């Protein structure tokens, strides 16, 4: 709205952009198959550390091995690889979108502890969640 200073609105847009594209999920993926479009859009917003390929296969009425082959052929990514990318994207969005403690983010995303979230994130991204948050939030200030 008009009462929010322009520099605050610009920062909000930048943070939203970073949360959506750092780390980036290849956007061609979302458009590559109409068959999976609704599922991908839903997963992007709801994936947790507990989401499994078996659950996805069951929702599609397929055995996990058949689903995995079909999904990889149609999308170009394995379902497990895509789940990792979406989970990292959700973690990143939570880290950059507020000041919630890591423990709260871990609980919200289905990790059994903040240690597990931190180790997972560091293994995937190469930096600890706190370091990631400080690095990208400081760049927008």
Lowest mean pLDDT across 13-22, 23-32, 91-100, 118-127: 23-32
Tell me the percentage of the chain whose pLDDT exceeds 90.
52
Q: Is the pLDDT of residue 107 over 70?
A: yes
Joined together, the tokens standing for residue 99 give 């000041």
| Distance (Å, whole) CA 27 – CA 18 | 14
Looking at residue 2, what is its pLDDT? 44
| Distance (Å, whole) CA 54 – CA 37 | 18
Q: Is the pLDDT of residue 16 over 70?
A: no
For the segment 51-105, what is each residue's pLDDT rounded down to a tens digit? 999 999 998 899 999 999 998 888 888 999 999 999 999 999 999 988 899 999 9
CA angle 132, 124, 122 (to 5 degrees): 50
Looking at residue 35, what is its pLDDT? 74
């Amino acid at each position: 709205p008009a009462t929010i200073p322009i520099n605050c609105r610009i920062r909000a847009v930048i943070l939203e952009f970073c949360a959506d594209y750092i780390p980036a999920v290849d956007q061609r993926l979302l458009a590559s198959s109409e068959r999976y479009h609704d599922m991908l859009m839903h997963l992007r917003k709801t994936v947790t550390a507990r989401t499994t390929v078996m659950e996805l296969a069951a929702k599609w009425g397929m055995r996990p091995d058949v689903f995995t082959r079909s999904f990889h052929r149609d999308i170009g990514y394995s379902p497990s690889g895509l789940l990792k990318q979406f989970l990292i994207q959700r973690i990143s969005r939570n880290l950059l979108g507020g000041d919630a403690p890591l423990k709260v983010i871990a609980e919200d995303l289905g990790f059994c502890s903040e240690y597990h979230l931190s180790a997972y994130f560091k293994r995937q991204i190469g930096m600890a969640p706190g370091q990631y948050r400080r690095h990208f939030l400081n760049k927008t200030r």
